[in-house]
Structure 1
Amino acid sequence: MMQAIFLAIIGYLSGSIPFSYIIPKLKGIDIRKVGSGNVGGTNVLRNLGGVIGFTTMVLDGLKAFIPMLIAMKYFGLPKDETIIIGFFAAIGHSYSIFLGFKGGKAVACTVGTLTGIKGYFLPLFLAIWTPIVLITKYVSLGSIMSVAVMDVIVFFIAGKEAGLWILAFFLFTVFRHRENIARLIKGEERKTDLIAAFKNKRDR
């Protein structure tokens, strides 16, 4: 029990580091005051361009992946036990102690956790997410569907325990995207052109 609590605290504190706020702030932009106001990689990508947006997404993913890797490599913990770090990193990202318990929607932390379970889960996730977003231009739809599909894959490849954890991630993803889902149903969800984002002059 004490170990689980310790891992949860480590995950939460790591996840609370608000890279999606810090990186734009270095350019003099408060990401909370532009676009959707969400402190997440998608809002950064839309307003500061693909390179900066992608950078923040990678850093947000590493908030889950690096502590998991350290726990496995240096403390010998099995992967299934380290997933608790990734889950609470997602919670920390969404409810950061450094941002008044506000934050992003934690998809990058979910991907970081998937990568910690199996390295090749990263390209698998991207292989699902990328075409959905390119075709529909809905990042929220791509994120929800990709986590759902990855949950099934994790159940078959990594086992029941890991699958149940990713199911928890999926439910958390749906909860964090509840407003996006409502807008998708109404046909009012904001679209994101990934190709145009990577041409955004604010990258340079």
Structure 2
Amino acid sequence: MTAFLWILFGYLCGSIPFSFIIARLKGIDITKVGSGNVGGTNVLRNAGAFYGVLSMILDLLKSFIPTYLALKYSGNIAYFVAFFSVIGHIYPIWLKFKGGKGVASTVGTYFALNPVLALIFYLLWLPLTLTTKYVSLASITTLSVIGLLSFIYSPKLGILNVLLALLSIYKHKSNIERLLNKTERKTDIVEIFKKSFKK
């Protein structure tokens, strides 16, 4: 498979709008509720724990699978496939290029290229989310840390993960404004799970 086809494969996989599809299963148009963002967090808030977690897992897998396959069969092209799978999530062709913010799909590339970084991500992200209740703050902080840590393993991994972090930070620009203005919405994950289990 040529480099172009690998990259196209990564982009098309990343473009599958799982968060949109999963929310639809519950009769919700995720683009019209909450933040309007086509991502797992918005599904979690508006459709419940099961649908939110399922969306996050599928968003993770859609970047993990093409990146892993490219790494296995074509080596370094996997870094480009990883990048474009996240681009696909953020700018999906199926939703007029209006997608999510790339956090779960970025973590999917971590699992494919260096699982240790994926573990570190969750070890940092989860406590930050639980203590601050700001998913956006936890996400952009942890992605930034992972981007810098990646240089310990290799320059190409560091460059990729810094680019992915910057891309997600750019997509979080409205969240950053709200954080600075102290108007950002808090997300109590524990409470969401409690409510979901009571139903």
Instruction: Name the TM-score, length of structure 1 as normaliser.
Output: 0.92
Flag structure 2 segments of 5+ consecutive residues without an equivalent: none
Amino acid in structure 1 at the alignment position of 2:47: L
SS at match of 2:59: helix
Query: Relative contact order: is structure 1 or structure 2 higher (C-alpha 8 Å, sep ≥ 6)?
Result: 1
Contact between 1:49 and 1:202, CA under 8 Å: does it hold in 2? no
Contact between 2:68 and 2:113, CA under 8 Å: does it hold in 1? no
Amino acid in structure 2 at the alignment position of 1:95: Y
Amino acid in structure 2 at the alignment position of 1:163: G
Shift of 1:203: 8.8
Cα distance in 2, alignment partners of residues 88 and 134 from structure 1: 30
Question: Equivalent residue for 1:89?
Answer: 85
Aligned residues: 199
Show CA shifts across 1:18-63 (max 9, x none): 0000011112111111111111001001111222211111100111
Are 1:108 and 2:110 matched, yes or no?
no
Cα distance in 1, alignment partners of residues 61 and 32 from structure 2: 25
Question: Equivalent residue for 1:131?
Answer: 127
Amino acid in structure 2 at the alignment position of 1:137: K
Are 1:167 and 2:167 matched, yes or no?
no
Contact between 1:51 and 1:203, CA under 8 Å: does it hold in 2? no
Report the identity percentage.
47
Query: Which of 178, 181, 186 lines up with 1:183 in the alignment?
Result: 178
Are 1:62 and 2:71 matched, yes or no?
no
Query: Which of 145, 165, 181 lines up with 1:149 in the alignment?
Result: 145
Contact between 1:16 and 1:95, CA under 8 Å: does it hold in 2? yes
Flag structure 1 segments of 5+ consecutive residues without an equivalent: none
Question: Equivalent residue for 2:31?
Answer: 32
Question: Equivalent residue for 2:17?
Answer: 18
Cα distance in 2, alignment partners of residues 185 and 150 from structure 1: 23
